[in-house]
A and B are shown apart, each in its own frame.
Chain A
Amino acid sequence: MSTLAVHDHDLTHHDEAHEHHHKATFLNTYVFSQDHKMIAKQFLITGITMAFIGMILSLLFRIQLAYPTQSFPLLETLLGRFAPQGRISPDFYMSLVTIHGTIMVFFVLTAGLSGTFANLLIPLQIGARDMASPFVNMLSYWFFFLASVVMVSSFLVQKGPASGGWTVYPPLSALPKAMPGSGEGMTLWLISMVLFIASSLMGGINYISTVLNMRTKGMDLWKMPLTVWALFLTAILGVLAFPVLVAGVVLLIFDRSFGTSFYLSDIVLNGQVQPYEGGSPILFQHLFWFLGHPEVYIIIMPAMGISSEVLSVNSRKPIFGYHAMVYSLIGITLLSFIVWGHHMFVTGMNPFLGGVFMITTLIIAVPSAVKTFNWLATLWRGNIRFTPAMLFAIGMVSFFISGGLTGIFLGNAALDVNLHDTYFVVAHFHLVMGSAAIFGMLAGVYHWFPKMFRRMMDERLGYLHFWLTFAGAYMVFFPMHFMGLDGVPRRYYAFTEFPSWNKWLTVNVFITWAAMLSGVAQLAFAYNFIHSIFWGKKTVQNPWNANTLEWTTPIEHLHGNWPGELPTVYRWAYDYSKPGSEEDFIQQTVPFSQTMSSNLPHDFEDNPGGLEEYNKWTATHKANEPVK
């Protein structure tokens, strides 16, 4: 069926035999698959693998921070020249923080999160047979895979991977002689990013066109689940913002390899006057953060969507303020394009601009606050089931609050003067977009695992995983705020040169051990994940009693999702515990005519015919009711 997906949208019957016009082989089923469900799984597994790599990198530099004077011969065995005498070298430390950031931000929380859930949920939740262009969708995954391989392979080059920080500010990243990582490692980083952005664009365009064109009958925009809204707006953000990074990256490639001076001027490196003239390093920062700030919303919005859905399903309650939730997502999408300058308050950017960016930045806190309050209101008077997914969704909200509030400090230009680039920032973004987004992603994995793999994950290991990770993440990031308030800069290889920071040494040891604990907890997840794929308990069709369309598809995957006709949608996705209904959930495919006892006048706001029927029914029903 592949490319015919758009056309067969209105066909009433779908011929199974016609669908498989090519034979299903291992190669086209598991490797070069064009089925959105398989591509989602590919994104997920690649994303999880990258997440483990990123996590191991972070543990390596945590070891250095906790034990800066100790030698670990094992490190030399494993890392060779990067850890001479069993101690991580300063340059490799920089590589570790750089690649950790890059992998986590782009490969895990952008591709791993959006890629997985946009692919899985958009067609399934809007009632489409596949993506608008399954072939481009497949390309999107393989570009991402290639980008991952190139990024990880940079550990194999002589001078090590890129090491100028994940923001790769020139001139540091533009001058190969400025640090070892700015050589081939940086070249590979740039190649990898270009591939990655190509992947992201192909995916994003697909997600947008699928949501806009391929919704099933009755699925108007205001009936879409919040997951689809979030993924849709995320895709729009990505499509508009990522090309700007390509522009920035291409100019950087020119500066590095073709002798241009877009970002370079007045440079004397190691006593040698360099020929660059007329460029501006600040230009790169503008281009980078024009993507970079929308990027953090690209990361957090899918997590918000997933958490909204999971919180609602497991509270057995409609999400509170559905419209407000959508409008706040739209508000965040629009505002996120005009706040990038808050990363640049102290860079030498015109102070007046700083003031403007401070205003826009603090405005964006309003929709975020609305979302938080709505989540809390969703929990209020719910009937709460603690599935692992639910716990992770609650954890996501908790991190979002904790990290979001410190954003009010950093968005304030006056306060940012002293906090910029300190551990306070590290604590802030690891909570608000790192931990919150990864918890949203894990909530999604636990929640939709039965849909993806037809089996259930072990709940008890899920609880263990959640509580260890949740407590561990707070133990890691909470104390960092105070290091930041003591003026400890981030990306410092060792604090040993500063006697006044000796007091933070024990805190560093504590943080490292908390990080180890969280790391070990992820092995519980990895075991649970892999074990459940093969030997987990078989799932039922709708294990969580949820309303959305994906749970109306058969457990066995088939190319085209629904056998026969596509389902028709009659109602929004959040009719949980509706008074008058026997079940505590009413799926989107159930027409109002079948639920007369639970209908509300509100359900017929834009449906005068239905309202008339409803009024008639209530009138007759009241007449028949015995007088009390």
Chain B
Amino acid sequence: MGYIKGLNFKRVITLFSILVLFGNNMIFAQATGATPAKVDWLEVGYYVLLFVLVCLAVAIIGRVLNVYDLSLKMQGKKGIKWNNFNAYICLGFIIVGLGAAYWSITVQGSMTLPESASKHGVDIDNMFLVTSLLTLTVFVITQLLLFVFPFYYKHTEKRKAYYLPHNNTIEKVWTVIPAIALTILVVFGFFIWQEIENSTEVKGDLNVEITGHQFGWYLRYPGKDGKLGNVNYTLVDAQNSIGLDTKDPDAIDDLQADTLVFPVNKPVRLNIRAHDVIHSVYMPHFRLQQNAVPGLPTYFKFIPTITTAQMRIKTDDSKFEYLLYCNKICGGGHYNMQKVVRVVTEEEYLVWIAKQKPFLNTPATTKPEAKAPEVKVAALNKDADKKVLSTRLALNN
């Protein structure tokens, strides 16, 4: 059989050598496990066989095409016109491709985040919409041209390509137009960015502290005084998980919480810290993200505008919760550092905050002297500490 001959010795050897070469790559981490689960070799064999069959099919189709090509040539024809074949696939690809892109944008695009639940997020969403419309227009036009030109100008002996080395006018046009479009985007983006990043503390802001660690978050709310007390990482121990400075009167009444709860329509200033490695506070529903960096306190100020209850109605999902994720690779548990975030009315918030427990359960017994840090660290007095904290952001940049 001619087809079988096609799979001659050399090809088999080559195929085999490929399998060996890339098969070896798979085995570089071979080691003995405790009690390996049983491998269903029949199933493995099935997939290997399937693969071999696909290879065979490709080889046979190749042979058939060879024979067809030869027979065309024997009849004095030109053989298979691969060039035209590819030109038509180009055309088909762009039609099917743009159709698929449209499907993806409409169907998968509607599976994305609901409307922004924060004030600044609305600006971000508008910016996103404008950028999307602009880029999608460019996307469709350029991709269409990219595939229609090759189809339309496919090779023929009758025609010579048009010798066009350059055209300064059109080149200037398509340098200036993107430049203008991008300038507009930059200017708007710049103003929104400035507005978002303004996390200066104003009287009346709710200050909440969130400290990332492997693998979870400590949350701290201010007590009745409305102020968060100082923390010092050298004071961290089993009783004092975030290193609260017990000498600081502001710290005594600070509260701990399990869930992030915010009153709606009130500015919240998140004070973000990390203990061990870099984490990132990511609350996509609020269009909010800021890394938590050890040694570099960061902030993000925002105003939540939609309560969880309202959002449940809007998304038609009775179990909807806002979530906070960790969004900076931080170790094996990175994928599971979520915190539930609830936005509630002012009254509900007051009820909730009243139930929260103070961070220091027994303030009388926790003497700061007793918590000698294991490691020698230059002792900083309280004032110096404050100063360091306030200037570090600037220093580190």
| CB-based nearest B residue for A379 | B149
Least distance between B32 CB and chain A CB atoms (Å): 6
Note all chain A residues with C-beta closer than 8 A to B150.
Answer: 379, 384, 386, 394
A500-B323 in contact given A268-B243, A321-B171, A358-B189 (Cβ < 8 Å): yes
Any A CB within 8 A of the CB of B53: no
B350 at the interface (CB under 8 A from A): no
Check if B189 sits within 8 Å of A366, measured CB to CB: no
Contact with A along B173-199 (1 / 0, CB 8 A): 011001100100110011011101110
User: Bound complex: CA of A353 vs CA of B233, how far in Å?
Assistant: 28
Known: A277-B378, A321-B171, A487-B113. A527 touches B294 (CB 8 A): no
B60 at interface, CB cutoff 8 A: no
- Given contacts A78-B29, A497-B336, whether A275 and B288 have CB atoms under 8 Å apart is no
From 146 to 188 in chain B, residues with beta carbon under 8 angstroms from any chain A beta carbon are 146-147, 149-150, 153-156, 159-167, 170-171, 174-175, 178-179, 182, 185-186
| Chain A residues, CB < 8 A from B86 | 386, 391, 463
The 8 residue pairs across chains A and B that have the minimum distance between CB atoms? A487-B284, A265-B295, A80-B31, A351-B197, A386-B86, A381-B162, A485-B112, A73-B37
Q: In whole angstroms, how far apart are the Cα atoms of A286 and B44 in the complex? A: 47
The reply to whether B109 and A482 form a contact with Cβ atoms under 8 Å apart is yes
B216 to chain A, nearest CB (A): 12
Interface check B325, CB cutoff 8 A: yes
Q: Is the CB of B282 within 8 A of A487?
A: yes
- Closest CB of chain B to A576's CB: distance in Å? 7
B250 interface contact, C-beta 8 A: no
A165 within 8 A of B: yes
Q: Contact at B397–A273, with CB atoms within 8 Å?
A: no
Within 8 A of A (CB), among B25-80: 25-34, 36-40, 44, 51, 54-55, 58, 62, 65
Determine if B161 and A277 form an interchain contact, defined as CB atoms under 8 angstroms apart. no
B362 contacts which chain A residues (CB < 8 A)? Answer: none
Whether the Cβ atoms of B166 and A324 lie closer than 8 Å is yes
Given known contacts A350-B393, A382-B161, A386-B86, A405 and B37 CB-to-CB distance under 8 angstroms: no
A269 sits at the interface (CB 8 A): yes
Which chain A residue shows the least CB distance to B110? Answer: A482
Q: Which residues of A contact B62 (CB under 8 A)?
A: 460-461
Known: A80-B31, A373-B174, A415-B127. A489 touches B282 (CB 8 A): yes
Contact present for B28 and A155 (CB under 8 Å): yes
Flag whether B338 is at the interface (Cβ < 8 A): yes
A511-567 interface with B by 8 A CB criterion: 520, 523-524, 526-527, 530-531, 534-535
Q: How far is the CB of B368 from chain A (nearest CB, A)?
A: 14
- The residue of chain A having its C-beta at the shortest distance from the C-beta of B47 within the complex is A74
The residues of B that contact A612 with a CB separation of less than 8 Å are none
Q: Which residue of chain A is the closest to B290 with respect to CB atoms?
A: A346
B161, A316: Cβ atoms closer than 8 Å? yes
A408 vs B137: C-alpha distance when bound (angstroms): 13
User: B residues within 8 A CB of A493?
Assistant: 332, 334-335
Question: In the complex, which residues of chain B have a beta carbon less than 8 angstroms from the beta carbon of A265?
Answer: 294-296
Q: Are A386 and B327 in contact (CB under 8 A)?
A: no
Say whether B161 contacts A317, CB under 8 Å. yes
B285 within 8 A of A: yes
Chain A residues with Cβ below 8 Å from B138 are 401, 405
Mask, B78-121, CB within 8 Å of A = 1, is 00001101110110010001001100110011011100000001
Say yes or no: is A426 at the interface (Cβ < 8 Å to chain B). no
A415→B15 contact, CB < 8 A: no
State whether A80 touches B128 (Cβ < 8 A). Answer: no
CA distance A282 to B37 in the complex (A): 44
Cα separation A348 to B287 with both chains bound (whole Å)? 16
Q: Which residues of A contact B54 (CB under 8 A)?
A: 520
**Chain A 72-116 interface mask (CB, 8 Å, partner B; 1/0):** 011011111110111001110010000000000000000000000
When C-beta atoms are compared, the residue in chain A nearest to B374 turns out to be A273
Given contacts A267-B294, A320-B166, A386-B83, contact A492 B193 (CB under 8 A): no
Q: Are A418 and B287 in contact (CB under 8 A)?
A: yes
Which one of A160, A169, A503, A535 has the highest number of Cβ atoms from chain B below 10 Å of its Cβ?
A169
Interface residues on B, range: 35 or more
Chain A 169-193 per-residue mask, 1 if CB under 8 angstroms from chain B, else 0: 1011001001110000000000000
Distance A415 CA – B284 CA, assembled complex (angstroms): 12
A84 in contact with B334 given A316-B161, A380-B149 (CB within 8 Å)? no
Shortest Cβ distance from A166 into B: residue: B329
B82 engages A460 (CB within 8 Å): yes
B positions within 8 Å CB-CB of A: 10-11, 14-15, 17-18, 21-22, 25-34, 36-40, 44, 51, 54-55, 58, 62, 65, 82-83, 85-87, 89-90, 93, 97, 100-101, 104-105, 108-109, 111-113, 121, 123-124, 127-128, 131-132, 134-135, 138-139, 142-143, 145-147, 149-150, 153-156, 159-167, 170-171, 174-175, 178-179, 182, 185-186, 189-190, 192-194, 196-198, 213-214, 233-234, 236-238, 243, 275-278, 280, 282, 284-285, 287-291, 293-296, 298, 319-320, 323, 325-336, 338, 373-378, 393-394, 396-397
Given contacts A80-B32, A268-B236, A464-B58, contact A350 B394 (CB under 8 A): yes
9-residue interface stretch from A35-43, A249-257, A292-300, A471-479: A471-479
The CA-CA distance from A588 to B159 in the complex, in Å, is: 23
* Smallest beta-carbon distance A229→chain B, Å: 16
The answer to whether A273 and B278 touch (CB under 8 A), given A376-B145, A487-B285, is no
Tell whether, in the assembled complex, residue A280 and residue B295 are in contact, meaning their CB atoms are under 8 Å apart.
yes
A358 touches B243 (CB 8 A): no
The answer to the question of A498 belonging to the interface, with a C-beta cut-off of 8 Å to chain B, is: yes
* A42-81 contact mask (Cβ, 8 Å, vs B): 1 or 0: 0000000100110010000000000000010110111111
Please, how many angstroms separate the alpha-carbon atoms of A413 and B338 in the complex?
A: 25
A326 to B377, CA, bound (A): 56
Contact with A56, one of B25, B30, B97 (Cβ below 8 angstroms): B25
Quick check: A408 and B112 within 8 Å, CB to CB? no
**Is A409 within 8 A of B14, CB to CB?**
no
Q: For residue B335, which residues in chain A have a CB less than 8 angstroms away from its CB?
A: 90, 491-495, 497
Contact in complex: B135, A406 (CB < 8 Å): yes
Q: Is the CB of B153 within 8 A of A383?
A: yes
The answer on a CB contact under 8 Å between B185 and A362 is yes
Name the one of B149, B276, B394 contacting A267, with C-beta atoms under 8 angstroms. B276
The distance from the CB of A119 to the nearest CB of chain B, in whole angstroms, is 23
**Which chain B residues border A359 with CB–CB below 8 Å?**
186, 190
Cα separation A160 to B29 with both chains bound (whole Å): 9
Q: Which residues of B contact A463 (CB under 8 A)?
A: 82, 85-86
Q: Which residues of B contact A267 (CB under 8 A)?
A: 233, 275-276, 294-295
A347 at the interface (CB under 8 A from B): yes
Bound form: Cα–Cα A355–B192 in Å: 10
Contact B108 A482 (CB under 8 A): yes
A266 at the interface (CB under 8 A from B): yes
Residue among A372, A381, A459, A478 with the highest chain B CB neighbour number at 10 A? A381
Q: When the two chains form their complex, are residues B295 and A279 in contact, meaning their CB atoms are under 8 A apart?
A: yes
Q: Within the assembled complex, what's the spacing in Å between the Cα atoms of A42 and B83? A: 32
Please, which residue of chain A has its CB at the minimum distance from the CB of B182? A362
Return chain A residues, CB-CB under 8 Å to B285: 487
Contact, CB under 8 Å: B280 / A414:
no
- The answer to whether B36 touches A77, judged by C-beta atoms less than 8 angstroms apart, is yes
Contact of B323 with A498 in the complex, beta carbons under 8 Å:
yes
Contacts of B375 in A (CB 8 A): 273-275
A406 — nearest CB in chain B belongs to which residue?
A: B135
Q: Give Cα distance in the complex from A274 to B276, angstroms.
A: 9
